[in-house]
Amino acid sequence: MQLNGKVAVVTGAGRGLGQAYAKALAAAGAAVVVNDLDGELADQTAADIRAAGGQAVGEHSAIGSTEAADAIVATAVREFGRLDVMVTNAGVLRDRSLLKMDDADFDVVVETHLRGTFTCARAAARQFKEQGGNGRLILIGSPAGQRASFGQTGYTASKAGIVGLVRTWAAELERSGSTVNAVIPVALTRMVATIPGMAELVEKADKGEPIPADVRAGGLGTADDVAPLVVFLASDEAAGVTGQAIGVGGDRIAIWSHPTEVAVESRAGGWSADAIAEAFPTAFQPHLQAFKPDTVPGAPEGK
């Protein structure tokens, strides 16, 4: 698949998943702005891309503010003449349970993930409009935004919000030919190394060793397994794909459903509390939804 002539921004691309996205987009022919708060990592990733024959520049803005988002888009236009793809990957973790989380930890996570997605997507969408549309917003979600993730209040709120934005922005940008999708990645990166049973697998991935087939089949692999979906969504071939949350990990790709009503009952004149209590066990209780994942995707059994 070729992205020749396209220009992409990837935020948080100095390592891990973001780096894999940036390198895959460049390998497909796109020119890439490699953003990372760690300027050394951003510049090294950009240098690696150039050494492999691609086009890339490093960019060091801290994701969150309007000024940072505008600067990143301006870099793409200044260096490569346009912008076609925005991948909002930058993130930070401050894992605390509800009772232990303070305002500062919550705010920094939401600032980077949710506000940063908003400001970068808005700046990109404005540039898309100047160019006549047909841009690509690829927003990075997480399984934590789809199901419960104990101890990740700010992260869960942000990632769930991002998927909500996908649907709204897809509707708003549809007429211009621009698409908006969320990627829900599961990969062996440093962010999952502290999960019980994951450290050994992360070490294998870091060393380039093969991931066990049963782990891959269960939906857990490397960052390089996720990157092809980003390349596809950036391409002309994905012009008809918008408003979706698409999971990817190891050997699996999955389409996440949109929220939908699963049980509906009507009562003339409305519902009293007593009427709800009477009807609930038979009309609604059987349809209550599981909210916790059974296991970490791809985790070895018993871990």
Active site residues: 155
Contact 216, 298 (CB under 8 A): yes
Contact 279, 265 (CB under 8 A): yes
Contact 81, 75 (CB under 8 A): no
Between the alpha carbon of residue 25 and those of residues 21, 34, 247, 253, the distances in Å are: 6, 11, 19, 19
Structure tokens at 68: 């940072």
Q: Which of 141, 132, 136, 130 is nearest to 165 (CA)?
A: 141
Across 289-298, b (16+ Cβ under 10 Å) vs e yields: eeeeeeebbb
**21: CB partners within 8 A, 6+ apart:** 10, 13, 87, 89, 226, 227, 230
Contact 152, 144 (CB under 8 A): yes
**CA angle, residues 244, 86, 116, in degrees to nearest 5:** 90
